[in-house]
Amino acid sequence: AANDNTKRKKPNILITGTPGTGKTTTSSALADATQFRHINIGDLVKEKNLHDGWDDDLDCYVINEDLVCDELEDLMEGGGNIVDYHGCDFFPERWFDLVIVLQTENSVLYDRLHNRGYSETKLKNNIECEIFQVLLEEAKESYSENIVMALKSDTIDDITRNVATLTDWIRACAKGVPT
C-alpha cells in the first residue's frame, strides 16, 4: 500500500535491527531529545499480554502481530512515535515516515549479547541474523527503499551521532516538532 501519512502532524520512526544493536538505547535517547513517544514493542507485548504464550525453543514470547497492530493504531495515527522492535514486516507500511536499521560489527555484538547472558543457540541465531543483514533486507522488502536508512551502532559516539542525525531529521521534517 502507498504511504498515506498525510493526516499526521508529526512523523513516526521505526528503529529496528538485530537484538543488541542498540535500538532501545537509541530510541530512549531520541525520545528524550524530541519529546516523541518511545514504544518498546517487546515491553508492550509483555505488559498487555499481546502474545500467544512462551516459545521454549526460541526463548521468547510468541508475539501476536494482529493484537500489537490493533493496540497501536490510534497512537500511530497521531504521529510522534518512535517504535523499537527487532522485526518490521508486520506493521502497516503507512505507519512510518522513516525506518532505521541499526547495525553492529560482529565481535562487538557478540560481546553485548554474551553480557546479556544469551544461550549459545540464541547467540548464534542473532549473530547470523546480523551477518546476513536480515533486518535490512526485511526493511527494504516491507517499506519504500527511500525511507530505509542503515546506521552503524558500534560505539557510544555512534549513538550520539545517530541521535543527532535523527533529531535533525525530525526538526527538518515539515511535520516536525517546533524548535
Work out what residue 11 binds among ligand ADP, Mn ion, none; the CB cut-off runs from 5 to 8 Å by kind: none
**Which one among 25, 64, 133, 165 touches ligand ADP, defined by CB under 6 A?**
25
The residue with its CB nearest to ligand ADP is 22
Cell match 551521532: residue? 161
Residue 38 contact partner, candidates Mn ion, ligand ADP, none, CB within 5 to 8 A by sort of partner:
none
CB of 54 to ligand ADP, least distance (A): 19
Determine, following the binding rule CB under 6 A, whether residue 20 of this chain makes contact with ligand ADP. Answer: yes
How would you label 159-170 residue by residue, b for 16+ Cβ within 10 Å and e otherwise? beebbeebbebb
Cβ-count burial 69-106 (b if 16+ within 10 Å, e if not): eebbeeebeebbbbbbbbebeebebbbbbbbbbbbbee
- Restricting to residues 42-71, name those near Mn ion by CB under 5 A: none
Which of 112, 140, 161, 175 lies at the binding interface for ligand ADP (CB under 6 A)?
A: 112
Which residues is 150 bridged to in the sheet?
A: 101
Question: Would you count residue 19 as binding ligand ADP (CB under 6 A)?
Answer: yes
Select from 50-58, 128-136, 151-159, 165-173 the region that touches ligand ADP (CB under 6 A): 151-159
Q: Does 159 bind ligand ADP (CB under 6 A)?
A: yes
By the rule CB under 5 A, 24 interacts with Mn ion: yes
Kindly list the residues in this chain that would bind Mn ion in the complex (CB under 5 A): 23-24
